[in-house]
Structure 1
């Protein structure tokens, strides 16, 4: 894993730990042109796992996880992210598959990642 990917993953993990009380157990990121595509495994806290035992709970956790992340990134990218990538973050698309505890985030920057 390159140093840039490692630093990028650390920023994602730290932010999610601060926001949700638990960061992902594993992150796999690839850079493709101006995008960073991250797959995050083991995201949910024990409380969230308990809440997801009902359909309403699954929806609540899904909504909270996706909206909170998207709103946070739209206000301000995490400290150090743009410096590590060397480009300005334009957009974040994020979703989580609650049943499998897998999330995917696609970060789109204003120029190719080198």
Structure 2
């Protein structure tokens, strides 16, 4: 695992822990051209899991999580992210599948950030 990927995942984990009270249990990230693609596992807090037991609750948790994340990233990139990848953050595309507690975030930057040239080798499977 590269140091850069590990530090990128730490930035994501800390932001989500501060925002939701619980960060993801595991993150897998790859850098591809001008994107960082992160799959986040184990995101939901016990309260969110309880609320999501009904269809209305699932929709509420989904809407709250996706809107909150998008609003945070719309105002500014998390501290240290742009410096770490040496590129300007442009946009975040994010979604979560409540039933499986899996989220995907695609971070778009203004220029390529993949330094290895080998997609898939850089990942963080730590908890």
Q: Which residue of 2 aligns with 1:97?
A: 97
- 1:29-58 per-position Cα deviation (integer Å, ceiling 9, x unaligned): 000000000000000000000000110100
**1:45 alignment partner in structure 2:** 45
What displacement does 1:87 show?
A: 0.2
The residue aligned with 1:15 is: 15
The answer to which structure, 1 or 2, has the higher relative contact order (CA under 8 A, 6+ apart) is 2
Q: Aligned partners of 1:67 and 1:83: how far apart in 2?
A: 25
Cα separation, 2, equivalents of 1:109 and 1:76: 13
RMSD, aligned CA = 0.4
Structure 1 unaligned residues grouped into runs of 5+: none
Deviation at 1:25, TM superposition (A): 0.1
Partner of 1:32: 32
Partner of 2:107: 107
For 1:102 and 1:63, the matched residues in 2 are separated by: 14
Give, in whole Å, the separation in 2 of the partners of 1:30 and 1:64: 26
Name the residue aligned to 1:65. Answer: 65
Gaps of 5+ in 2: 116-127
Three-state SS of the structure 2 residue aligned to 1:18 is: helix
Please, what TM-score do these two structures have when normalized by structure 1? 0.99
